[in-house]
């Protein structure tokens, strides 16, 4: 979502929790800088989940309730996994009855609770150590909630106060949160979500500084700097995604609009999904429709059709 504003055992646990199927040999290949120019070849298998932000207008208008989200994902869209947003059950992180009911409703319709996206819990990169520590403590309740729901991860915002050469504070805070997550078998994952996090150099510097098996990325197809609102991207987003994928424990399929043939108008989905495949990822790819022309349900369905049409297809560069 956009906002205007080692041990072998531990590694394998983290990979399985994220739904990925990476060999240790493939992980070793990450020493070579990944490329956003993948060769021709087959796009691999993946599961499809639905990010709750795709329905944020309906949720904010109280046309949809968070408790009904898993059923909507399954029955209206035929989707088997859900990615919650904490904004839509902000006061329920430690409400055990509510979380039990939400998990039960998901289980009843055969839906996997994949992760929770966390906003509004403080700046993990704040210059002041006390503020960073408060942010860590604020996030811990969502680790607890994710564990109660059977999720594998929480997505956090890394904050505004770091750069590719200055990650000490944010790495310390994220490391503490990842340690707490490990106690509950929950991964802590970082999306390119504005600010420094949308600079791959900065985000990857955080990954390398933290260096924990349950700490990784959530590459979003579209959350990169643009020239003005809706303008062209100012960086090579395909290279950026390729560089994030070795650390990925989730993938966010951002979409905005579609042409007459069903292709996304701003993003080369085939190219991105081949990058995802080449990284060895076969877990959930979460639909996050954020367009204005189509309604939320129409945008979700269009994104799902595109993902399904590309799964198992053969990618040809320039096609």
Residue at token pair 């408060």 = 134
d(CA 279, CA 245): 6
- pLDDT, tens digit, for every residue of 193-248? 999 999 999 999 999 999 999 999 999 999 898 887 778 899 999 999 999 999 99
Nearest in space to 267 (alpha carbons), one of 218, 296, 301, 310: 310
* Domain membership flag for residue 27: yes
Helix orientation angle between 296-310 and 69-77, rounded to the nearest 10 degrees: 60
pLDDT tens by residue, the chain, 319 residues: 644 333 333 333 344 334 443 332 333 334 457 889 999 999 999 999 999 999 999 999 999 999 999 999 999 999 999 999 999 999 999 999 999 999 999 999 999 999 999 999 999 999 999 999 999 999 999 999 999 999 999 999 999 999 999 999 999 999 999 999 999 999 999 999 999 999 999 999 999 999 999 999 999 999 898 887 778 899 999 999 999 999 999 999 999 999 999 999 999 999 999 999 999 999 999 999 999 999 999 999 999 999 999 999 999 998 7
- Would you say 38 and 315 are in contact if contact means Cβ atoms under 8 Å apart? yes
CATH of the domain at 276: 3.20.20.150
- pLDDT, tens digit, for every residue of 14-26? 443 344 433 323 3
Residue at token pair 């349900």 = 297
Nearest in space to 273 (alpha carbons), one of 241, 304, 244: 241
Rounded to two decimals, what is the model's pTM? 0.89
Its domain, for residue 130, covers 8-224+234-315
* Domain membership flag for residue 167: yes
* Domain membership flag for residue 87: yes
What's the confidence (pLDDT) of residue 31?
Answer: 42
Task: Report the DSSP pairing between strands 47-51 and 112-117.
Answer: unpaired
* Domain membership flag for residue 3: no
* Domain membership flag for residue 131: yes
* Domain membership flag for residue 281: yes
Beta bridge pairs of residue 264: 258
Cβ-based neighbours of 91, under 8 Å, separated by 6 or more: none
* Domain membership flag for residue 33: yes
Residue at token pair 């995604």 = 241
* Domain membership flag for residue 229: no
What's the confidence (pLDDT) of residue 19?
Answer: 45
- Count of structural domains within the chain: 1
């Amino acid at each position: 979502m956009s906002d205007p504003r080692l041990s072998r055992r531990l590694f394998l646990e983290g990979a399985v929790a994220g739904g990925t199927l990476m060999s240790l040999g493939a992980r070793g290949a990450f020493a070579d800088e990944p490329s956003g120019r993948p060769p021709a070849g087959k796009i691999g298998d993946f599961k499809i989940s639905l990010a709750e932000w795709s329905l944020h207008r309906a949720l904010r208008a109280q046309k949809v309730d968070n408790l009904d989200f898993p059923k909507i994902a399954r029955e209206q869209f035929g989707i088997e996994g859900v990615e919650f947003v904490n904004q839509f059950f902000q006061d329920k992180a430690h409400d055990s009855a509510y979380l039990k009911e939400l998990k039960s409703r998901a289980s009843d319709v055969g839906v996997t609770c994949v992760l929770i996206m966390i906003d509004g819990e403080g700046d993990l990169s704040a210059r002041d150590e006390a503020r960073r520590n408060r942010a860590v403590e604020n996030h811990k309740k969502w680790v607890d909630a994710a564990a109660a729901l059977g999720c594998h991860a929480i997505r956090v915002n890394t904050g505004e106060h770091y750069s590719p050469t200055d990650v000490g504070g944010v790495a310390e805070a994220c490391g503490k949160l990842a340690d707490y997550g490990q106690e509950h078998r929950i991964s802590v994952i970082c999306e390119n979500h504005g600010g420094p996090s949308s600079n791959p150099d900065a985000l990857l510097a955080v990954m390398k500084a933290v260096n924990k098996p349950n700490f990784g990325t959530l590459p979003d197809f579209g959350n990169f700097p643009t020239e003005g609102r809706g303008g062209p991207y100012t960086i090579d987003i395909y290279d950026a995604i390729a560089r994030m994928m070795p650390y990925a424990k989730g993938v966010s399929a951002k979409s905005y609009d579609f042409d007459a043939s069903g292709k996304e108008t701003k993003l080369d989905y085939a190219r991105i999904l081949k990058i995802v495949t080449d990284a060895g990822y076969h877990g959930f790819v979460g639909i996050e429709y954020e367009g204005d022309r189509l309604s939320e349900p129409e945008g979700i369905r269009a994104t799902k059709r595109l993902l399904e049409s590309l799964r198992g297809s053969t990618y040809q560069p320039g096609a």
